[in-house]
Structure 1
Amino acid sequence: MAFLVLLSIVGVLLVLQYLMLYTARHCSSIPTVQPSYPIVGNLLSFWNNSSMEAFWMLVKSFRGVDRMAKMVLGPKVLILINHPELLQKVLMNNEMLDKPFFYDFMGLGGGLVSERDGKRWLMERKVLNPTFNTRMLTSFLSIMDARASKMAANLRSVADGHTEVDMIKFVGECTLEIVYNTTMGRNANELPGQRDYMRNLNMEDGTEFTDREISDNLYTVMAGGHDTSALTISYACMMLGMYPEIQAKVVAEMNEVFYDSSVPITLDTLKQLEYTERVIKEVLRLFPPVPFAARQTRNELVLDGVKIPPNQIVVINFYAYHRRKDFWGPDPERFDPDRFLPEASQGRHPYAYLPFSAGLRNCIGMRYAMNSMRIMLLRILQEFEIGTSLKQADMRLKFEVMLKLVGPHNVWLKKREKC
C-alpha cells in the first residue's frame, strides 16, 4: 500500500513537472523571478501566506522587473509585464480581452470587471456604454452635489478641530448614495425598476440580459462606483491633512472657480479645477484602488520577440508600476500633484499611468468617478480644514480585492471661517 501511495505521489510530481516544462519552454527566454525551485517553481514564496503577504510578495517581484519576467507556480506560468510599451501592446490588443480563472474568486460575480469571456464582455460593454455618455454624466451632477452636500452636513457634528474622524465611513455612505441615486433610481428601494430597465436592453444579437447578468452588472456598478471612489477620497483627505500647503492650493483654486454660491457645478466648471484634478491623479497613482489586472491569451501573443502560447496569464501590478523611478523621478513615494503638470507629463509614455486601466477593458465609469470625486472634495474643503497626526510613512496597506488601509482613515476637521 505504501509503495502504491509513493508511486502515485511520484506520478503526480512527474505530471506537474511535465506540464511546467511544457509551458515554460515556450517562454524560456523570459527571466524567471527568484527564488525558483524544481517542480514547484516560485510556489514556495507564496506557500501559507495571507492574501496581504502574497500581494506584497508580488509587488516585490514586480519591482525587480524592467520589462518582463515569468513566475512559475507549479504547472502555471504568470507573465509579469512592467513596461509601458508592453502594457500598451497587451491592453490595446483586441484579442486580449479574456481574464484568468482567479477572477472567479474575487466575489464580483460576472459583471464588466470580472467577466472572463472577452467576447461576452464586449457585448455587455457595448450595451452599457450609453449609460456613461456626456448627456447622462451631466444629468448626474446635481445628484452628486446633493449627496456630497449632505455628507458635508453630517461631518459638521464631528468637526471640532481635534476629534479623529474615519473618513471612509462618511465618504463611503456618500458614494453609496450617489451610485444608488444615479444608476438605480432615486432610492435604493427602486432597484426593481432598474432591473426592468436593464432587462429591456438587448445584446447586438437580440439576446436579453438574464437575471444573473443583471445582478452581476448592478453589483459591478455598485462595487466599482462606490468602493473605489470612497477609498480614493479618503486617501485624498489624509494626504491633504499631511500636506497643508497642497490643501491650501486646492482651496484657493476652488475659491477662484466657485467664487460665490451662484456658480453652478457643471462639466465646464469642474474642468477648471485643474489642480484638484492633479491631486486626485496623484492619489490614484500612489493608491490605485484596483492595484492589479490580468489577461489570458486567447491566441499566440508576441512580446519582445517572445512567442507566448494561448491560455497563458499576463499580470500587471499598478501599485509597483506607478512607482518606477524612470517615469516618476528618484522619489516616487513622495506625494506631488505637480507630476501631472503638462510640462512634467511631456515626454512621459501615455501608458506610464493607468489608474483606470486602458484599452477596451478600461473602466467604463472613469469620467463618472472623476466628476463625483471632484464634487466630494469641493464640498468637504469648502466647509472644513483637514488635518491629521499621521505621516505617509505610517500608512500600512493591505489587499482585499481592492487596496485598503490597515486601520481607519483618520483625520480631524475644523470648520472654515470662510471659503
Structure 2
Amino acid sequence: MLLLILAGVVCALGGYLYWIHRKQYRFADKWPTLKPVYPLLGNTLIMVGKTNVERFEVLRHVFRSTDRIIRLWAGPRLLLATSHPDLIQQILTNPYCLEKPFFYKFVGFHDGLFTAKYSIWKPTRKQLNPCFNQRVTNSFIPVFVRCAEKMVASLNECEDGATVNMLYYTSVCTVEMACGTTLGTDILDRKGKREFRQALNVASECVSRRMTCVHLYPDFTYRFTKLHKECNEARKTVVSYYTELVNERKEYLLKSNSISLSDNEEDATKPKILVDKLLTTFKEDGKPYTDKQITDNIYATMTGATDTGGLLTAYCCLFMAFYPEVQERLYAEITEYFPVDSTELDFSPETIKELKYTEMFLNEVQRHWTAVPQIARQNTAEIVIDGVTVPPGNIIIMSMIELHKRKDVWGADAEKFDPENFSPERVKGRHPFGFLPFSGGKRMCVGYRYGMLALKILMVHLVRSIKFSSKIKPEDAAFEHDLTLKLAFDAAVQFHKRKIGK
C-alpha cells in the first residue's frame, strides 16, 4: 500500500513538473525540434562519444536543419538556434538581448567585456570604447609593422620551399601585437610567448568541451573533473604572463606621474591604450578599477586579439595557396602601393585604405572561415522573434558561419570563394546582417577596427615577401568544436621567397 501511495505521489509530482515545463515553453511550439529528444536528457546525447571534429559537424547540421529557428534541449532547458539574417537582426538590435547566457561564465573572468553580465558590461564598454577608436587604432600602426617584419624575418630563416605551419608564426606575431598595443610593452625578444599562446588554446578547448556536456554545467560536479584542473592551470599560465607586463606598465606610469591622473583632469583629450585606461581612470561610481577588473578586461582583450588574429592570418595564407589567381591579384595591388623595389614604405592610414581588393579578400576569408562560428544572447524582457512572443530568460544561439553560406544572402554560388562578393556592386542591396564576422548590434566586437588594420598590415608583409602554395585542398577542411574556428590539422603551406628591396 505504501509503495502505491509513493508511486502515486511520484506520478503526480512528475505530472505537475511536466505541466510547468510545458507552460514555460509552449510559446515555442511553432518551431521544429531537433531529433531525437529524450526525457530529461533532451538532445544532449547527440554529442556523447563524439570527437571535437564530429561535434563541430553536429552543430553545423543543427543550423542547417531549418531555414528559420529550431529548438534544442540542453537537458530540460530550451535553446533556440538560427542562422537567418532577419532573425539575427531582430535579436542583435533588440535592447533586451544584450545579455550573455549562463554558459559564457564557463570562460571565467566575469568582469571582462566578453563574458560580463549586461549590468557590468554597459558602463565598462562606455569607458573603454575610446581605447579602440580609429585614432588610437591608427597609432598602433608602427607596432603592427614591427611585429609583421619580425614574423617575415623568422619565416625567411627557413629554407626556400619549406613546408611550415603558418599558425606557429602568426599566433606568436599576434601575441606580440596585442602586448604592444594593449599593454604598451615590446615583447619581441621576450620569452614565454608560445607557452602563453598554447595555454590560451587549452583554456579555450576546455571551455568548449564543458559547453557541450550538460552534466558539467553545475560547478559542484565540474570542479572534480580533470577538465577543471587543466583549464585552471592554463588560465594561470596566461594570467601570470600578462600580469607581469601589467605590473611593469604600472611601475612605468608611477615613475612618469601618470597613475594619479583621471580622465577628468588635464590629460582627458589624450588617447590611452587599454592598460593605461584601466590603471588611471575612475569608474562611473568614482572608484578605480580593481585588480580583478583589470585582469578580466586584459584577458578578454588579449584573448580576442591573439586568437582570432592568429587564426585568420594563417587562414589567409591557406586561401592564397588554394587560389593562385587571387594571390597574384593581391600581389599586384599590394606592390602598387608598397613597391618591391623600395624599403621605405608608406604605412599611413590613407595608403592602407587604398588596399580595396585586399580588404575584399580578407572579408571573403572571414565569410568562409568565420573566426567565431557561433554567438548567443539571452533576452532580459519579453521580445518578439519571428512573430512569436518570447518570455524573458530564453537563450538564442546564432551561427555566423552558416549565415555566411546562406544562398538566399550570397546567391547560388555561396560555397564558392570569390572576393568579388565584397565589390561595391554586390554589397549594395545585400542584407545588412548578412555578414557579421565581428558580430553585430551594440555588443559587437569592440576591436573590429584593430583587427582589420592588423590583418591588412600583415598581408602587406606576407604577400610582398612570400608566395604560398599548399598540398591541402579547400575540400579537405575539417574543424574542431571550440570557441573559435580551429582547423583539425596544421595550417601547412609551402612558401617561396620573393625578391624585395633595392
**Global fold match (TM > 0.5):** yes
Name the structure 1 match of 2:474.
Answer: 392
Indicate whether 1:274 and 2:275 are aligned: no
- Taking only aligned residues, the RMSD between alpha carbons, in angstroms, comes to 2.4
> AA paired with 2:153?
A
TM-score w.r.t. length of structure 2: 0.78
Distance in structure 1 (CA, Å) of the matches to 2:41 and 2:338: 60
Distance in structure 2 (CA, Å) of the matches to 1:46 and 1:10: 30
Name the structure 1 match of 2:310.
Answer: 230
- Match for 2:420 among 338, 358, 371? 338
8 Å Cα contact 2:381/2:391 also seen in 1: yes
Name the structure 2 match of 1:191.
Answer: 246
Q: Is the alpha carbon distance of 1:10 and 1:114 closer, same or farther for their aligned partners in structure 2, counting shifts above 3 Å?
A: farther
Which segment is superposed worse, 13-22 or 317-326?
A: 13-22
Distance in structure 2 (CA, Å) of the matches to 1:256 and 1:111: 42
Name the structure 1 match of 2:154.
Answer: 154
Distance in structure 2 (CA, Å) of the matches to 1:53 and 1:14: 36
> AA paired with 2:363?
K
Indicate whether 1:406 and 2:488 are aligned: yes
Indicate whether 1:257 and 2:366 are aligned: no
The 5-angstrom pairing of residues 297-336 of structure 1 reads: 297-336=379-418
Distance in structure 2 (CA, Å) of the matches to 1:141 and 1:192: 24
Name the structure 2 match of 1:84.
Answer: 85
Distance in structure 2 (CA, Å) of the matches to 1:46 and 1:15: 30
> AA paired with 1:352?
G
Q: Is the alpha carbon distance of 1:186 and 1:28 closer, same or farther for their aligned partners in structure 2, counting shifts above 3 Å?
A: same
Distance in structure 2 (CA, Å) of the matches to 1:21 and 1:213: 40
Pairwise CA distance, 1:39: 4.7
Name the structure 2 match of 1:172.
Answer: 171
Pairwise CA distance, 1:275: 0.7
Please give the secondary structure, in 2, of the residue aligned with 1:369.
Answer: helix
8 Å Cα contact 2:113/2:300 also seen in 1: yes
Q: Is the alpha carbon distance of 1:43 and 1:400 closer, same or farther for their aligned partners in structure 2, counting shifts above 3 Å?
A: closer
Name the structure 1 match of 2:284.
Answer: 204
Please give the secondary structure, in 2, of the residue aligned with 1:70.
Answer: strand
Write out per-residue CA displacement over residues 206-262 of structure 1, whole angstroms, 9 at most, x where no aligned residue. 243221111111011111001101000101101101111000000000011123433
Distance in structure 2 (CA, Å) of the matches to 1:403 and 1:2: 54
Write out per-residue CA displacement over residues 41-70 of structure 1, whole angstroms, 9 at most, x where no aligned residue. 433323444554333222111112222222
Name the structure 1 match of 2:70.
Answer: 69
Write out per-residue CA displacement over residues 50-95 of structure 1, whole angstroms, 9 at most, x where no aligned residue. 5543332221111122222222333211111222121112111122
Please give the secondary structure, in 2, of the residue aligned with 1:158.
Answer: coil
Pairwise CA distance, 1:266: 1.6
8 Å Cα contact 1:62/1:320 also seen in 2: yes
Q: Is the alpha carbon distance of 1:13 and 1:173 closer, same or farther for their aligned partners in structure 2, counting shifts above 3 Å?
A: farther
Query: Where does the alignment leave 5 or more consecutive residues of structure 1 unmatched?
Result: none
Name the structure 1 match of 2:271.
Answer: none
8 Å Cα contact 1:175/1:226 also seen in 2: yes
8 Å Cα contact 1:159/1:412 also seen in 2: no
Distance in structure 1 (CA, Å) of the matches to 2:492 and 2:10: 52
Pairwise CA distance, 1:392: 0.6
Please give the secondary structure, in 2, of the residue aligned with 1:122.
Answer: helix
> AA paired with 1:289?
A
Q: Is the alpha carbon distance of 1:2 and 1:107 closer, same or farther for their aligned partners in structure 2, counting shifts above 3 Å?
A: farther
Q: Is the alpha carbon distance of 1:21 and 1:245 closer, same or farther for their aligned partners in structure 2, counting shifts above 3 Å?
A: same
8 Å Cα contact 1:20/1:74 also seen in 2: no
Distance in structure 1 (CA, Å) of the matches to 2:289 and 2:440: 26
Name the structure 2 match of 1:243.
Answer: 323
Q: Is the alpha carbon distance of 1:108 and 1:138 closer, same or farther for their aligned partners in structure 2, counting shifts above 3 Å?
A: same
Q: Is the alpha carbon distance of 1:17 and 1:52 closer, same or farther for their aligned partners in structure 2, counting shifts above 3 Å?
A: farther
Q: Percent identity?
A: 35
Please give the secondary structure, in 1, of the residue aligned with 2:281.
Answer: coil
Which segment is superposed worse, 318-327 or 366-375?
A: 318-327
Q: Is the alpha carbon distance of 1:30 and 1:385 closer, same or farther for their aligned partners in structure 2, counting shifts above 3 Å?
A: same
Name the structure 1 match of 2:437.
Answer: 355
Pairwise CA distance, 1:110: 3.8
> AA paired with 1:323?
K
8 Å Cα contact 1:95/1:299 also seen in 2: yes
Indicate whether 1:372 and 2:373 are aligned: no
TM-score w.r.t. length of structure 1: 0.93
8 Å Cα contact 2:53/2:488 also seen in 1: no
Write out per-residue CA displacement over residues 264-287 of structure 1, whole angstroms, 9 at most, x where no aligned residue. 102111111111111111111111
Pairwise CA distance, 1:19: 4.9
Distance in structure 1 (CA, Å) of the matches to 2:5 and 2:308: 52
